[in-house]
């Protein structure tokens, strides 16, 4: 078998596997533009017959069929909570990652290991103890309470990723800058941070996506439109005997769009981050 034939077979197998993986997402996107009746038809209609924006108009309070769900408020809450928790996680992650990459202190290896082990605990396992503690502190159904949880979840990953990027930056560059008259702070911002910026941006995007898509904890810690996020708001489309699949799919598309955009940004910055390791002092 020639190399060209092998490449063609590998390409087709890869395409088939990716098609299977992407099929549920494609079904959600198509269902967002179809009426509920067509979605529930048996046998299933694979090729949509009627595509329209009626589902999006309904969830945003426009058109003839209006859904009484505050999607705008949920979107605002998701944006505020995800952005704030990502900012806090990056600030803490940069501080911790830089400290682990550049300084030697007692218990460094153990501290780093415990921080990483904290990330291995599934979020759903924390829902009950968090709910009990947050209810006693009065943080249930508050954006601040959700921000604290998401920040704590994202810090271990940001510390690990940013530490790896700072470790690749030669410390001789910072030392040379300080010899030339820079302070330690100036050497960090003018020399080290620009070289590790791709890692910081990548960590920020991953942290944002984690906060943006998280459902299990948000559904437990939020109740009203003042704090409920988009993933938790998906359950508003369910009733005792019916489910508005069309509206739910339309809202899911609204959640997917920012994630898709940031996924492309992740790819760009990860590639940039992998190439800067060739810099020599």
Contact call for residues 208 and 83 (beta carbons, < 8 A): yes
Given phi > 0 = left and psi -120 to 50 = alpha, else beta, which region is 207?
alpha
User: 102 exposed, middle or buried (CB, 10 Å; 0-12, 13-18, 19+)?
Assistant: middle
d(CA 149, CA 205): 17
Whether omega before 47 lies within 30 degrees of 0, making that bond cis, reads: no
Q: What backbone phi and psi angles, to 5 degrees, belong to 215?
A: -120, -45
pLDDT at 147: 94
d(CA 49, CA 157): 44
Q: Where in the chain is the domain with CATH 1.10.3720.10?
A: 71-278
With tokens 């690990």, the residue in question is: 160
Which contiguous run of DSSP H or E holds residue 199? Answer: helix 193-213
pLDDT at 66: 64
Would you say the C-alpha torsion 164, 201, 124, 217 has a positive or negative sign?
Answer: positive
d(CA 209, CA 86): 9
Fold of the domain spanning 71-278: MetI-like fold (1.10.3720)
d(CA 281, CA 267): 27
User: 22 exposed, middle or buried (CB, 10 Å; 0-12, 13-18, 19+)?
Assistant: exposed
Local confidence pLDDT in tens for the 281 residues of the chain: 677 888 888 888 998 998 888 888 888 888 888 887 788 777 877 777 778 888 888 887 776 666 677 888 899 999 999 999 999 999 999 998 888 888 888 888 888 888 888 878 887 788 888 899 999 999 999 999 999 999 999 999 899 888 888 888 887 887 888 887 888 788 888 888 888 888 888 888 889 989 998 988 898 899 888 889 999 888 888 876 778 888 888 888 988 888 888 777 777 665 655 554 444 44
Helix or strand or coil: residue 216? helix
pLDDT at 63: 63
pLDDT at 169: 80
d(CA 25, CA 161): 28
């Amino acid at each position: 078998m020639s190399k060209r034939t092998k490449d063609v077979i590998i390409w087709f197998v890869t395409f088939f596997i990716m098609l299977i993986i992407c099929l549920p997402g494609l079904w959600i996107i198509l269902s967002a533009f179809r009426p509920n009746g067509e979605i529930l038809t048996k046998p299933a209609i694979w090729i949509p017959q009627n595509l329209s924006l009626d589902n999006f108009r309904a969830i945003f309070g426009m058109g003839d069929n209006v859904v009484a769900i505050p999607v705008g408020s949920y979107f605002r809450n998701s944006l505020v909570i995800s952005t704030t928790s990502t900012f806090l996680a990056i600030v803490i992650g940069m501080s911790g990652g830089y400290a682990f990459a550049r300084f030697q202190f007692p218990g460094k290896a153990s501290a780093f290991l415990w921080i990483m082990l904290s990330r291995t605990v599934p979020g759903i396992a924390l829902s009950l103890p968090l709910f009990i503690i947050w209810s006693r502190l009065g943080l249930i159904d508050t954006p601040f309470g959700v921000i604290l949880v998401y920040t704590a979840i994202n810090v271990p990953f940001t510390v690990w990723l940013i530490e790896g990027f700072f470790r690749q930056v030669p410390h001789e560059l910072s030392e040379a800058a300080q010899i030339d008259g820079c302070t330690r702070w100036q050497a960090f911002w003018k020399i080290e941070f620009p070289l590790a910026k791709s890692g910081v941006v990548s960590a920020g995007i991953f942290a944002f996506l984690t906060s943006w898509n998280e459902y299990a904890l948000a559904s437990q810690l939020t109740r009203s439109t003042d704090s409920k996020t988009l993933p938790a708001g998906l359950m508003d489309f369910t009733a005792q005997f019916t489910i508005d699949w069309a509206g739910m799919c339309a809202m899911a598309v609204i959640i997917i769009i920012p994630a898709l955009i940031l996924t492309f940004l992740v790819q760009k910055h990860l590639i940039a981050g992998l190439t800067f390791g060739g810099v020599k002092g």
